[in-house]
Amino acid sequence: MALFYQHNINHSTRLAIWRIEEPEEFFLERVPLKKDVTHPYKRLQHLAGRYLLLELFNDFPLSEIMVADTRKPYLPGEKYHFSISHCGNFAAAIASSEKRVGIDIELVTPRIERISHKFLTEKEQDFLREWELFDRLQLELVTTLWSAKEAVFKWYGNGKVDFREHIKLAGPLHYTASEWMRLPFSFEKEAPVELNIEARIFEHLVLAFTVS
């Protein structure tokens, strides 16, 4: 077992992160491989993400998962709303029987900082400049903003989102209990929607999710 982290958000919503250390055969014992994934490691990530859904809710109907034209996986009967993310040798999943959800995990690397001008607003860049004397923390916060926007994108699920124009940090970052951060965001593609993003940094990994 390689369960890296698990969090029961409330009675109907749970998330977890899996560190992928097992061979493909381990996951195939419980997970149907419906998607045509040819790259061996991407197939492992795909399987691990779905395996996690069963770890969250053991009655999760994996065989019923469909994929929309926007590439968002979903359950036709919406017994559960869910979202999956993976990077490197990690996979993450969130599922809820009541609320829409979105999740993202990202490795903390300079790559995201180099492209930050493509997804950050001017105000968000100003916020990050306040931390420019703390190189590592600034890199973690850039990654957190990217991951938060990815989580909102997955929560929305209908594609065609401009991360600079449609997803904006809407207030100050707040630290909560157990090393969690809460970031208020405004999603402005259609009628504006206010969302809270919860995020946490694990040494070299950032997790962000939203439930609404």
Q: Mind listing the pLDDT tens digit for each residue in 20-29? A: 999 999 999 9
Phi/psi-derived region of residue 4, left when phi > 0, alpha when psi is between -120 and 50, beta in every other case: alpha
pLDDT digits (tens, 9 = 90+) for 19-59: 999 999 999 999 987 667 778 888 999 999 999 999 999 99
DSSP bridge pairs for 106: 206
- Which residue in the block uniquely carries the two structure tokens 């997804």? 119
pLDDT average, residue stretch 197-205: 94
Are 132 and 142 contacting, i.e. CB atoms less than 8 angstroms apart? Answer: no
What b/e sequence results for 118-130 when a residue is b if at least 16 CB atoms lie within 10 Å of its CB, and e otherwise?
A: ebbeeebeebbee
Please give the Cα distance from 146 to 106 (Å, whole number). 8
Measured CA to CA in angstroms, residue 9 lies from 15, 131, 161 at distances of 7, 30, 27
Work out the angle between the directed axes of helices 135-156 and 122-129 (0-180°, nearest 10). Answer: 150
Q: Tell me what pLDDT residue 176 has.
A: 78
Q: Tell me what pLDDT residue 35 has.
A: 65
Please give the Cα distance from 25 to 30 (Å, whole number). 9
pLDDT digits (tens, 9 = 90+) for 91-125: 999 999 999 999 999 999 999 989 998 999 999 99
How many other CB atoms are found less than 10 A from the CB of residue 20? Answer: 21
Q: Tell me what pLDDT residue 133 has.
A: 59
Structure token pair of residue 195: 């969302």
pLDDT digits (tens, 9 = 90+) for 58-79: 999 999 999 888 888 999 988 9
**pLDDT interval class at 134 (50, 70, 90):** low
Structure token pair of residue 139: 């890199």
Return the half-sphere exposure (C-beta side, CA atoms, 13 A cut-off) of residue 71: 6
Please give the Cα distance from 23 to 167 (Å, whole number). 37
Structure token pair of residue 108: 């903390």
φ and ψ at 36, to 5 degrees? -85, 90
Average pLDDT value over all residues in the chain = 92
DSSP bridge pairs for 203: none
Are 86 and 94 contacting, i.e. CB atoms less than 8 angstroms apart? Answer: no
